[in-house]
């Protein structure tokens, strides 16, 4: 955290990621705020190593507090000569006084950084003593009718001091004694305390606390991700457990679990603001920023774990399909088995002109034509039953490989020279087509057949499949871009395996806005 000169406003870190305005509030933070609100004094401990996001969590809580709030930051100072024992570092307290925000009605609304408050040093005391300034701050809050005091370490020196004490247990003993003194001072006053600690050894402090949350990191198949563990929450209705955290743009965020309805996009794709020469537009700025455009003559494999909902495929696919149709490109799509062609058109119909859908989109289906689609009936491309079954073509005298779905191949092959062709393939949907149409598709021939499509000019193919699906295991070694999707602690993560990217947290909390991919590392 950087100290501003006295009287200077605190400004928020800049980011090219859209803010959370209008989105559902973070449920975990809301529960923690509820714990330290009300008339009965509460103590919340926020524990984690340096850089885990403790200060960001405190700022997120302050932004949601409706009561007067005071922020206390410790800073280790080197005493000047003859000012005491040089081996005993001093701790300066930096307070944000609620009197500095009288213009806001005594609350911090919106984001904490949006309120023009200033950090002002109010004194120094030996690190092993209870700061009297903090007691005075408590009394001032109590006189104002209550509030919450957030105590945070301010810089790396403070963290180093905390870790040094933690190794011997001195820190937890010192903080435990100070906390008891604080609680004695609080008494029945409606003043709450949130204490941020960098020590792993709490030495019984957790027994004094009404809530304990621990920030850290967890290794996954998508890379190391940030986490928050709710270890204790006395009097709250938030269950203990682990949550995935993003600190994108310095903002602490844990998306609420997405409902099944919120997975399906109900808005047009993001407009293309990049360079079309680099490939087809994926319909999402978030996807393009994380993984790039869809390169010509390229193949992308998206590998889903067994817990990821099928609707995840549609989160990525709908913007890609809509953007391609709007650009005049041709698209063939095999959606997941649970999604019918009529359902696809129900989503895309309000976003795209009917003529564009009829001319540029084909949805493969084993169910045949659907008269209920009216003028859009030709969008559905029935799978021929007479297609020869897949066999083992790995021998030298094997017959030539015929393109999978000849009608679809012909449709993409006839794409205008200045346009692109896109083939989205759900391997789950492919398996359903195989069962319903009576055709047999062997995983040994899938890579060879798909390669026929990849040789089309200005073509990109995307396959979505489960990790345990033999089709996925056959397809993934031959793709140039391999993305892995993991459903973890109620959230969905996606990362690039080839080329390698950090893990991203999918935020689909507001269907009226584009999905976001937030850094989870």
Q: Where are the domains of the chain?
A: 27-214, 282-390+400-488
pLDDT for the residue numbered 103: 42
Neighbours of 424 (CB within 10 A): 25
pLDDT for the residue numbered 425: 92
Q: Which residue has the higher pLDDT, 229 or 197?
A: 229
CATH class of 282-390+400-488: alpha beta
243-253 burial code (b ≥16 CB/10 A, e <16): bbbbbbbebbb
pLDDT digits (tens, 9 = 90+) for 144-189: 777 888 888 644 555 555 455 545 555 445 444 555 555 555 555 6
d(CA 104, CA 291): 42
CA dihedral of residues 363, 369, 372, 375 (deg, nearest 10): 70
Record the pTM: 0.79
68-78 burial code (b ≥16 CB/10 A, e <16): bbbbbbbbbee
Lowest mean per-residue pLDDT among 30-44, 83-97, 282-296, 503-517:
83-97
Which two structure tokens, joined as six digits, stand for 375? 């003028």
Using alpha carbons, select from 146, 144, 151, 207 the residue that is nearest to residue 180.
Answer: 207
Radius of gyration of the chain (CA): 29
What's the chain's average pLDDT?
75
The 3-state secondary structure of 96-141, one letter per residue:
ECHHHHHHHCCCCCCCHHHCCCCCEEEEEEECCCCCHHHHHHHHHH
Q: Which residue has the higher pLDDT, 510 or 471?
A: 471
Q: Which residue has the higher pLDDT, 236 or 154?
A: 236
Q: Over range 15-28, report the average pLDDT.
A: 45
Q: Which residue has the higher pLDDT, 267 or 493?
A: 493
pLDDT for the residue numbered 382: 84
Which two structure tokens, joined as six digits, stand for 282? 């994926």
83-99 burial code (b ≥16 CB/10 A, e <16): eeeeeebbbbbbbbbbe
- Output DSSP code: residue 379: G
d(CA 383, CA 452): 18
Confidence of residue 77 (pLDDT cuts 50, 70, 90): very low
pLDDT for the residue numbered 205: 74
Which two structure tokens, joined as six digits, stand for 431? 């398996």
Q: What are phi and psi of 229, to 5 degrees?
A: -105, 125
Which two structure tokens, joined as six digits, stand for 63? 């932004």
Using alpha carbons, select from 234, 227, 268 the residue that is nearest to residue 44.
Answer: 234
d(CA 462, CA 422): 8
Query: Into which CATH architecture does domain 27-214 fall?
Result: 3-Layer(aba) Sandwich (3.40)
CB 186 within 8 A of CB 141: no
Highest mean pLDDT among 104-118, 182-196, 314-328: 314-328
CB 293 within 8 A of CB 274: yes
d(CA 105, CA 102): 5
- Give CA angle at 294 (288, 300), nearest 5°: 105
CB 403 within 8 A of CB 352: no
Residues sharing a CB contact under 8 Å with residue 59, sequence separation 6 or more, in sequence order: 111, 112, 113, 252
Highest mean pLDDT among 382-386, 392-396, 494-498: 494-498
Using alpha carbons, select from 406, 290, 207 the residue that is nearest to residue 17.
Answer: 290
| Pairing outcome for strands 90-96 and 69-77 | antiparallel
d(CA 298, CA 310): 24
For a pLDDT cut of 90, what percent of the chain falls above it? Answer: 37
pLDDT for the residue numbered 73: 66
pLDDT digits (tens, 9 = 90+) for 387-429: 444 444 344 343 344 567 888 999 999 999 899 999 999 998 8
CB 45 within 8 A of CB 197: yes
d(CA 443, CA 163): 55
Lowest mean per-residue pLDDT among 87-101, 138-152, 301-315, 444-458:
87-101
pLDDT at residue 29 tops 80? yes
């Amino acid at each position: 955290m950087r100290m501003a000169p006295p009287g200077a406003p605190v400004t928020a870190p800049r980011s090219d990621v859209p803010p959370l305005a209008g989105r559902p509030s973070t449920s975990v933070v809301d529960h923690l705020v509820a714990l330290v609100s009300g008339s009965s004094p509460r103590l919340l401990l926020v524990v984690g190593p340096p850089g885990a996001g403790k200060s960001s969590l405190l700022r997120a809580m302050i932004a949601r507090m409706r009561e007067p709030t005071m922020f206390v930051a410790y800073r280790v100072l080197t005493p000047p000569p003859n000012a005491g024992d040089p081996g005993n570092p001093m701790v300066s307290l930096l307070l944000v006084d609620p009197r500095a925000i009288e213009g806001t009605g005594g609350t911090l609304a919106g984001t904490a950084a949006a309120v023009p408050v200033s950090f002002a040093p109010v004194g120094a005391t030996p690190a092993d003593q209870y700061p009297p300034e903090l007691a005075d701050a408590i009394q001032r809050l109590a006189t104002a009718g209550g509030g919450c005091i957030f105590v945070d370490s301010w810089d790396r020196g403070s963290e180093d001091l905390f870790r040094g004490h933690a190794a011997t247990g001195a820190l937890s003993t010192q903080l435990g004694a100070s906390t008891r003194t604080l609680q004695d001072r609080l008494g029945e006053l409606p003043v709450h305390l949130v204490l941020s600690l960098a020590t792993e050894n709490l030495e019984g402090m957790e027994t004094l606390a009404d809530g304990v949350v621990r920030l850290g990191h967890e290794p996954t198949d998508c890379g190391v991700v940030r986490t928050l563990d709710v270890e204790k929450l006395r009097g709250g209705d938030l269950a203990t457990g682990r949550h995935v955290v993003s600190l994108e743009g310095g903002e602490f965020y844990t998306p609420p679990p997405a409902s099944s309805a919120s997975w399906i996009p109900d808005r047009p794709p993001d407009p293309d603001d990049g360079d079309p020469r680099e490939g087809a537009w994926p319909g999402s700025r978030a996807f393009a920023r994380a993984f790039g455009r869809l390169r010509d003559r390229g193949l992308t494999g998206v590998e889903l774990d067994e817990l990821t909902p099928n609707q995840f495929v549609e989160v990525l696919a709908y913007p890609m399909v809509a953007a391609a149709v709007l650009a005049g490109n041709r698209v063939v799509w095999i959606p997941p088995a649970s999604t019918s062609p009529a359902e696809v058109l129900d989503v895309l119909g309000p976003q795209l002109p009917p003529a564009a859908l009829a001319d540029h989109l084909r949805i493969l289906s084993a169910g045949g034509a659907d008269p209920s689609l009216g003028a859009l009936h030709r969008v559905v491309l029935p799978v021929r039953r007479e297609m020869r079954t897949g066999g083992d073509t790995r021998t030298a005298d094997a017959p030539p490989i015929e393109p999978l779905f000849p009608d679809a191949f012909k449709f993409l092959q006839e794409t205008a020279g200045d346009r692109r062709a896109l083939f989205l393939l759900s391997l789950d949907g492919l398996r359903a087509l195989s069962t319903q149409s009576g055709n047999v598709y062997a995983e040994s021939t899938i890579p060879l057949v798909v390669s026929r499509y990849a040789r089309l000019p200005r073509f990109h193919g995307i396959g979505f499949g489960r990790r345990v699906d033999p089709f996925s295991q056959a397809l993934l070694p031959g793709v140039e871009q391999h993305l892995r999707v993991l459903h973890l602690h109620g959230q969905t993560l996606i990362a690039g395996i080839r080329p390698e990217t950090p893990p991203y947290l999918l935020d689909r909390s507001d269907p009226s806005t584009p999905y976001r991919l937030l850094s989870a590392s």
